[in-house]
Structure 1
């Protein structure tokens, strides 16, 4: 095992510690990591399989579910397999290129994930506030174009981060107290380099993406609530809002852990490091695991199709 334990003495290698302070419990920490990761893969691949096989599900709403499932798979796969290698085999080493690649894909997919949630909020707004034009406004082709715009946005805005890091010089001590590479953690290990650009760009992009996307989602639901309040029947109120329940739940479990993690890192200096890291990791397996379950339970058409394939096995 020692032959695989890459240490900071190798000038081309970073060392991911895992969860500092809980090294003795790594093998136990791996159990929920592995379990939740497997459940998330099974759930999201099931959603992709059922929607791809069923022609009746080839609609904008389900195309968005496919995009959400793909981003969920990408987010968890960017982090969890490497974390399990640390927990199980003590394989803590990661090359500079590997670190930058992981960072890029993790950030880009996370931004894309947020764009999908914004598009889903827009989908619900059109379905409730302008239902007669829904089929003409939100076609499959238009949803695909919106997905492409979201992907382009993610790549263009995230790409500068690894480029900024690639120009820095790093000292011999390349120990990252985390389970994955993060932009500012790596930047702070540079040898006396000015990382003002890194710090500013990281803060601005986080604020812009989270702030802008949450504002657009809030605006969509504000208009939805206004439209619902104009309906006289309370039964119609509940029925209309029920169509948004799944999306609201997915938003809460997607944004709450990440926002809480950001706030604790910025303002929670008294919190133990391992708590910060556990909170940061929760986002990568809780949301991908729960999203397909929520939509499977709340969306009758999808639930029925999944049940049909389950009965065949």
Structure 2
């Protein structure tokens, strides 16, 4: 069927949480504001701290910087609109603004999965073939690999956006979500091509998420096997501690997504509010928590922070004594 009377929508209406009553708009917007502050302060701190400390300018921490930049960008792309909706009652987003937000939401998620792949590769070589690590993993090589992680999803996401733009939009203009994503936008479209666009997008999404995940699983399973084969208990504990932050970060990114996908596949239905909350949790919670993991689960960063704090404390005490 050809839709000849379809006019291009000028804007979309961000629904947010449909079950949320007006008196809770203020507290919810304040909560999102503090989440954004946590994401911004935490990830900017990691970027600045690693850039300023030459002792931390190593491959592992350069990967952390790329993750921090990704998390910071994702929070900046999504949260201001959610905050303005509940704080200032600004629910409208322009048609192309919505598509731009959709592009960055899915692009950043895909880029992060490839950056996590680079992080897993770093730990795999460091633990499974340690003698080759100084040759195979350098700052320049990590920078190139992370550059590819940022570059690979671009063409995929541009294809998805352009393909979706060809659809006629004949339904209401309500985005049943706190930000524009592909599922919410295509639900407003009509015509036989909607299924084709959705299937094509699903295939690309699986490529961006499952291909890196397959290598990540292989890497960490290999690492665990190597650690279990170690005869020295102290060596096992020390080696495991070097990849614990990476495992935590990877689990925070993949496990909630896998749970939602599996639940949908087996027919376990969530209410719209719960579904939106779950998506926000697995999208925003890692971005806020990752800097804490970097600081308290990474020995070098932790020790550098403690040393800096001790020096600052001694300096203050000396000034007070005079």
Fold conserved between structures, TM > 0.5: yes
Structure 2: gaps of 5 or more residues: 1-6, 314-322
> Aligned with 2:37: secondary structure?
helix
Give, in angstroms, the shift of residue 304 of structure 1.
3.1
**Compared CA separation, residues 247 and 231, structure 1 to 2 (3 A):** same
1:2-25 alpha-carbon deviations (Å, 9 max, x no partner): xxxxxxx99401111111111433
TM-score (norm 1): 0.91
Match of 1:175 in 2: 174
Match of 2:109 in 1: 110
Aligned length: 305
Match of 2:319 in 1: none
Counterpart CA distance in 2 for 1:257 and 1:133 is: 35
User: Mapping of 1:164-313 within 5 angstroms?
Assistant: 164-171=163-170, 173-268=172-267, 270-307=269-306, 312=312
In structure 1, which of residues 12, 16, 19 is the aligned counterpart of residue 10 of structure 2? 12
Give, in angstroms, the shift of residue 269 of structure 1.
5.7
Counterpart CA distance in 2 for 1:292 and 1:268 is: 35
Alignment of 1:72 with 2:71, yes or no, is: yes
> Aligned with 2:193: secondary structure?
coil
> Aligned with 1:242: secondary structure?
helix
> Aligned with 1:243: secondary structure?
helix
Kindly indicate whether the alpha-carbon contact (under 8 Å) linking 2:74 and 2:108 is maintained by their aligned counterparts in 1: yes
Counterpart CA distance in 1 for 2:264 and 2:194 is: 18
Counterpart CA distance in 2 for 1:216 and 1:172 is: 41
Give, in angstroms, the shift of residue 312 of structure 1.
4.3
Question: Which region of structure 1 is more displaced relative to structure 2, 26-35 or 240-249?
Answer: 26-35
Kindly indicate whether the alpha-carbon contact (under 8 Å) linking 1:228 and 1:237 is maintained by their aligned counterparts in 2: yes
Match of 1:138 in 2: 137
TM-score (norm 2): 0.89
Counterpart CA distance in 1 for 2:278 and 2:26 is: 18
> Aligned with 1:20: secondary structure?
coil
Kindly indicate whether the alpha-carbon contact (under 8 Å) linking 2:8 and 2:169 is maintained by their aligned counterparts in 1: no
Counterpart CA distance in 1 for 2:263 and 2:272 is: 10
Counterpart CA distance in 2 for 1:108 and 1:267 is: 27
> Aligned with 2:12: secondary structure?
strand
Question: Which region of structure 1 is more displaced relative to structure 2, 280-289 or 259-268?
Answer: 259-268
Tell me which structure has the larger Cα radius of gyration: 2
Give, in angstroms, the shift of residue 305 of structure 1.
3.0
Structure 1: gaps of 5 or more residues: 1-8
**Compared CA separation, residues 193 and 133, structure 1 to 2 (3 A):** same
